[in-house]
Amino acid sequence: MSERFLHQPLRFGRQGGVAVTDDAERHLSDKIMAVLFTAPGERVNAPDFGVGLNRVVFETLDPLTLAALEFRISEGLARDLGDEIKLEGVDLRDEPERGELILEISYRRRGERQPRRLEVEL
């Protein structure tokens, strides 16, 4: 029988219980997204959890802000998911003509060699 994981964020399933998934990759990417978009202090029992990426939407995007944000993302992912992933790189690119910020995270699941990549457009 395959492993089963709770959906991130938690939600109810079809039979009224908590929704689960068999897709380990989806589960891990959902956990990464939870770390990225949860603001520090938002979780009562884990006040240090999260990066608070949603706050960046209204900030000025200069090279110093992007570098600080890359550092904040790297530290947050290492702190909150360091036992599950080996972070290999965080890259932020701003595309002012399209009004977007592109976040690319390169990582490996602990105990595996296959590189993975997650791209988020803001």
One-character DSSP codes across 65-111: HHHHHHHHHHHHHHHHHTTTEEEEEEEEEEETTTTEEEEEEEEEETT
- Average pLDDT on 66-80 reads 94
* Confidence class for position 81, pLDDT limits 50, 70, 90: very high
Q: What pLDDT does 83 receive?
A: 93
- Residue 29 and residue 19: Cα distance in Å, rounded? 16
What's the CATH class of domain 5-121?
Answer: alpha beta
- Average pLDDT on 82-104 reads 89
Give the domain ranges of the chain. Answer: 5-121
On whether the CB atoms of residues 29 and 5 are closer than 8 A, the answer is no
- Average pLDDT on 25-42 reads 90
- Residue 4 and residue 39: Cα distance in Å, rounded? 27
